[in-house]
Amino acid sequence: MAMKSILEYDTVSLSDDGAALVIIDQTLLPGEIKLLHLTGQNEIWEAIQALRVRGAPAIGVAAAIGLYLAAREIKAGERGAFLERLHAAAEYLNSARPTAVNLSWALRRMERTAHQTAGGAEEIRAALHRECLAMWQEDIDVCRRLGENGLSLVRPGDGLLTHCNAGQLATVRYGTATAPMYLGHARGYGFHVYCDETRPLLQGARLTSFELSSAGIDTTLICDNMAASVMKKGLIDAVFVGCDRVAANGDAANKIGTLGVAVLAKRFGVPFYVVAPSSTIDLHTPTGADIVIEERSGDEICRMWYEKRMAPEGVKTWNPAFDVTDNDLISAIVTEYGVARAPYTESLRDIFCKKEAAQI
C-alpha cells in the first residue's frame, strides 16, 4: 500500500472515540509520518512545548481538545470545584508556550463555554466536546478564507517567499501564509515558492518545503542567508508569512528571522504580507514591545541537528524563538475578514467590527 501524502492527514484532531488528541509528530518530519494519540495532560503539555504540534492555529485547536480531555478526567462533583480544577488544567496547558496568543485564546474560549453552560460536570463536558470540534471546523474555514483574501494580492506566475512554516502543518488544513499558495495552485496560478530553511529548528526545510512539494507546487528551498540574493535577482514578487501574535498597532511576532526578511523586502521593494486569523490579533497588547518572547535551549543551535556538536563547549548562546516585525515594514495584514493596511490601530479594529457583525 502506498504511503499517504502528508496532506491527507489532519495536523490536529480529536480521535473518533473522543478519548485522545491525535497529532502528527512534527519533530520526526520529513523522515517519518507518525501519528500520536495523547490523552494525559502531561503528554499534551510536552507535545506543545517540544513542538510536536506547532503553529499558532494548530496549538489553539490542540489546547482546546486537550482541555476537553482534561474535563473528561475531572471527577464529577460540586460545580464550583469542577470549574476550579478545569481552570487549573487550562493554566497548566497555557504555560507550555508563552508567545502564541492562540493558546491562551483557545483556553479562554473553552473556559467561557464551561462557565456559560448550565448544569453539572456531564453537561459541561458535552458542551466542551461540541466547542472543541467547532473550533476545529472553524480553523479549516478560516484558513480557506485567508487563502482567498491573500490570493487577491498576487498574480499568476508570481514568485513567492515564505519563512518558517505557516502551512497546513501549522493549522488543521490549508495553512495561513500558504493558503493562497494552495488555492492558487489548484486554480493554475503557477506560483514558484521559495522556502527559507528557518534556523535553528529548520521548519522551512523540514516542513514547508515538504508539504508544498508534496502538493505539486514548484518549490525551492534556500538557506536563510540567501533571501537577499533571490530578492535582488527579482525572483520574489511577494513575501507571505504567518505570525503567532499581532499587537494592536500591527507589530507582528513570528518565528525568529522574520524581521530580517521584512527589512530585506523593504529594501528591494517587495510587498511583505502577514497572514493572521483574527484569533491571532491581540488588541489588548498595545505594541510588539509588550509581547513576551519565548527563549529556548541553546542546544537547538549547537547540537540538535548534528551528529557531533557544532559549537565549542561552554560557548554562550541566545536562542529566542520569535522576533517582532515592526508595523512600518508590513505591507498588509491578511485576515479572514479582509485585508488590513496602515494605520493598523484603525484597520485592525475595523476587522473586529466586521467579525462582531458576522457573529450576530
CB atoms within 10 A of CB 224: 18
Cα–Cα distance, 307 to 202 (Å, whole number): 16
- 139 touches 171 (CB < 8 A): yes
Bridge-partner residues for 194, per DSSP?
161, 220
Catalytic entry in 224, 244, 251, 282: 244
- 218 φ, ψ (degrees, to nearest 5): -65, 105
Bridge-partner residues for 13, per DSSP?
22
Work out the widest C-alpha separation in the chain, in whole angstroms: 66
Cell matching residue 358: 458576522
196 given a catalytic annotation: no
Beta strands in 201-267 (DSSP E): 218-222, 238-241, 245-247, 252-255
Q: How many residues does the chain have?
A: 360
What would you report as the CA-atom Rg of the chain, rounded to the nearest whole angstrom?
20
Cα–Cα distance, 78 to 121 (Å, whole number): 8
Beta strands in the chain (DSSP E): 12-14, 21-24, 35-38, 159-162, 192-196, 218-222, 238-241, 245-247, 252-255, 272-275, 281-282, 322-325, 332-335, 338-340
Active site residues: 244
